[in-house]
Structure 1
Amino acid sequence: MNFPMKTKRLTLLFMLALLLPTLSKSSEKPHPPKPGWLGATFRSYYDPQRNLRGVRILHVVPFSPAGKANLQPNDVIYQVDRSPTPHPLQLIRFLRQTRPGQKIQILLYRPKTKQLKRTQLTLGEKNLRKICQQSIELAAKWLISRQLPNGGWPHFLEAQTRAAAPTTALCLAALSALPNAKRYHTSIEKGLQYLLRQRTKSGMLGDVSAAVKMETYTTALAIIALCQYNREKYQRTIQELVSKLKDAQLDNRAGFSEYDIQYGGWNYFEGKRRSVIRVDVSVASYVLEAFAAANVPRQDPLYPKVLKYLSRCQNVEEGKPLNSYLDGGFHFGPLDGKAGIYTAPDGNDYFRSYGSPTCDGLRSLLYCGLSPNDYRVQGALTWISKHFTLKRNPGFTTPGPLNFQDGILFYYYASLSKALAQYGRPYLQHKGKKILWANKLVLHLASRQSKEGHWKNSKSVMHEDRLELATALALIALAKSYPFLKN
């Protein structure tokens, strides 16, 4: 049978269309198999007395294969499957050849008991979303266990028996931010009922029985928690609290002119009396986050005022390139530089930029509606990218007498995650490489979590040695990082 030429062409094209997907699939490179996951960080170890080298465990993820096998910090691994591990590279190379579900034997020395022992464990899969979820669930369970019968959480400065509005507001902001917050409905609802009863004379929320009531922080955190948890149910309360925060801004209505350095900010303490005013970027960032959560319009006249205030806290000038002192970063406040002073070549002094206020500053600029391409936003992002680290709060040249670089750590993690999540980019450009910041932060926090679920800072300067405070801040960091995780 003879087919017309046109029909033959159509038949040939149809056959090619069927074959092309198969051909393209066969040409694709298969993904390399995932190696097994141990769930511990480590470094090299040397025992000069016995001339032995091994790998010392630094941190263990509590729900990882290492955690389930009861591997502990300071344990020293000498062998894996009878192969010596005198250096971390040997252990890394070994693990890269393994697969999830594979059983391995470890010979380790435990300095605490001075025992040499063999242990067997089954390697897992390094699934970052699952790791983050497990870390969140463990921490949330622990945090809820610390809730007092009246619904509040213990004060971070006082005895564990007294509930306090500031700590409660922070814990509620953390729990309501979680991807699975509805699971904790009973605890959140109970906490909100306690918190909303803590009205001060000004009508804001705060620690009614303390000299320092922390009204601004508490009210801002309460708005954030209410919006995250159930905006419709609490809409009237949200609007009322937003109005109180707007009225608390230091502006012309309170006798502050544009030439006052406090103009546009909010007071850490209560009221607007000049004798007890302390404004800083941290307070402003939480207020602005609350306004963003409550959908306060960007056309509101409060925003130009706060931008005026923020400009006094950022080391940047329009039209000038970034340098060693105009580096794009933020310091704590117009008259407060916890990281010290830098004397420029022209003889002028500048407060040094450092990590947590720069993160607070970046998110504040974005909450105010500035474009991601604005020179102020780009300046802050450049500083964060250049100084990215999770080992400390960056920007300090020396620890200093109060050691803020180690003492303001979990706050830095929370602020870093909020700032980068608000910017909306899953990576940072750091030393010529793309850094997946959320991946780094989640693994860093998970490996430092206790078996019970909490975190603790060994430094007490900013009260992060109090478990509720550190754990709530870590939970916020995990929640903000979760959408940006890349396996």
Structure 2
Amino acid sequence: MWKNIGLFLVFSLLFHQSLLASSKEDLKKYEQAIYKGLKYLSKAQNKNGSFGTFPNAKEQGDVGITAVVLMAFGKAPHSFRKEFKDTIQGAVQYLLKYQQKDGGIYNPGRGLTNYHTATSLIALCYLDREKYKDAIKKAKEFLVKTQFSESYQNVKPDNLHYGGWDYKPKKGGLNADMSNVQFALEALHEAGLDPKSPVWQRAVKFLSRCQNRSESNDMKGFHILNDGGFMYYPGNSKAKPIKMKDGKMAYPSYASMTYAGLKSFIYAQVDKKDPRVQAAFNWIRKHYTLEENYGLGSRKNPKGGQQGLYYYYNTFAKALDAWGEKYIVTADGKKHFWAKELADKLVSLQKPEGYWVNENKRWWEGYPVLTTAYAVRALSVCLENMKKK
């Protein structure tokens, strides 16, 4: 009997060690994929430290693309950051060069000022909050100032854009959307905005109006589908609108914006048990997939789900990281180790040269520098989660 128990313990130990070895091999595989991606990105850097190429431009580079690339370097393992320190420093100097008097970080005349400032702020926070504290403070104040509210463009709470951000502050034009809002809130979260700031509650009002949930969405004039997912902004979706029997239009939820909504609720300190958060999470449980940006495809356009796929992977990783649970049980009862599943998917899609690219070119995803930056950050977030006990 004791001999059998001893053999059982030996085999159990060997089995456990084999699992650890497999896990270490997986981690090494993901780290190698990240390294190859960073290597590819470093070779794509312009002489002025920026990233992004624009034919006939006076100066090459773009603040937004440079910031997204820096987010990838900033989230990568520290040993890699040391190796690519010159690449990182050149890109940081480019961003700081374009910090404007109003605190925003953007290329004048190109628009996208809020989006570029938010991504730049996230990148600087990743890299060194103390070293870049002055630039971080100014950028944070810029985003706080440009949120649609009573104090900015005199936007009242009954306005559907209240609490949101759009691509570019401009007089007489309001066009807030979930993409700008998710990056602005992530940036303010990373920059340590006071949890008691009214910015958060104003943002929650906008988020609630983007959610297909009639109990908390007070917007009139369109049909709310009540599936708990998110549209692009109130009364607008990148998924195909539906005309209902009552004549009103409905704006379907889709994956990238629903994950963005979940992440944003969490950053805005809405409790995970809140019905709005639970509704978003249940939508994710029902439509969990890594094969497409669910909701953008249709019978007539089955490949539509490939639109914004790497943006989706990036948002998927950050949202479930914010959710804070290692496993997700989907509506069909299956248990998913989401970080490993996404990491394996990304590794399978990486090209031998180290880059990623989407065959569907919408939203710049045919440009491998951008998609590689999205993939590397997502993979690094997955790696962090897999290393947690």
Structure 1 letter corresponding to 2:154: G
Q: Which runs of 5+ in 1 are unaligned?
A: 1-18, 36-99, 101-123
Aligned to 1:353: 253
Q: Which runs of 5+ in 2 are unaligned?
A: 218-223
Structure 2 letter corresponding to 1:353: S
Greater strand share, 1 or 2?
1
Distance 2:246 2:13 in 1: 57
Match of 1:135 among 33, 40, 47: 33
Percent identity reads 32
1:207 and 2:104 matched = no
The normalised TM-score by structure 1 is 0.71
The normalised TM-score by structure 2 is 0.87
1:461 and 2:359 matched = no
Query: SS of the counterpart of 1:447?
Result: helix
CA-based RMSD of the aligned residues comes to 3.0
CA deviations over 1:433-467 (Å, ceiling 9, x no partner): 10111111111111111111101111112110101
Contact in 1 for aligned 2:327/2:336 (Cα 8 Å): yes
- Taking a change above 3 Å as real, the CA distance of residues 359 and 193 of structure 1, as seen in their structure-2 partners, is same
Greater helix share, 1 or 2?
2
- Taking a change above 3 Å as real, the CA distance of residues 427 and 132 of structure 1, as seen in their structure-2 partners, is same
- Taking a change above 3 Å as real, the CA distance of residues 332 and 170 of structure 1, as seen in their structure-2 partners, is same
CA deviations over 1:187-244 (Å, ceiling 9, x no partner): 1111111111113464411122xx4331111111111111111111111211111011
Aligned to 1:296: 193
Distance 2:213 2:56 in 1: 43
CA deviations over 1:361-396 (Å, ceiling 9, x no partner): 110000001111111111111111211111110023
Q: Counterparts in 2 of 1:91-240, with a 5 A limit?
A: 127-155=25-53, 158=55, 162-180=60-78, 181-200=81-100, 202-208=102-108, 211-240=109-138
Residue 427 of structure 1 and its aligned partner are, at CA, apart by 1.7
- Taking a change above 3 Å as real, the CA distance of residues 342 and 238 of structure 1, as seen in their structure-2 partners, is same
Residue 274 of structure 1 and its aligned partner are, at CA, apart by 2.6
Q: Counterparts in 2 of 1:288-327, with a 5 A limit?
A: 288-318=185-215, 325-327=225-227
Contact in 1 for aligned 2:103/2:138 (Cα 8 Å): no
Query: SS of the counterpart of 2:354?
Result: coil
Distance 2:130 2:171 in 1: 36
Aligned to 2:221: none
Aligned to 1:31: 15
- Taking a change above 3 Å as real, the CA distance of residues 33 and 230 of structure 1, as seen in their structure-2 partners, is closer
Paired residues, number: 373
- Taking a change above 3 Å as real, the CA distance of residues 140 and 126 of structure 1, as seen in their structure-2 partners, is same
CA deviations over 1:25-70 (Å, ceiling 9, x no partner): 36958528969xxxxxxxxxxxxxxxxxxxxxxxxxxxxxxxxxxx
Contact in 2 for aligned 1:250/1:272 (Cα 8 Å): no
Residue 184 of structure 1 and its aligned partner are, at CA, apart by 2.3
Distance 1:483 1:468 in 2: 23
Contact in 2 for aligned 1:139/1:471 (Cα 8 Å): yes
Structure 1 letter corresponding to 2:191: A
Of 393-402 and 332-341, deviating more is 393-402
Greater relative contact order (Cα < 8 A, sep 6+): 2
Distance 1:184 1:454 in 2: 17
Aligned to 1:435: 336
CA deviations over 1:324-351 (Å, ceiling 9, x no partner): 9311110111131111234667775431
Distance 1:261 1:402 in 2: 32
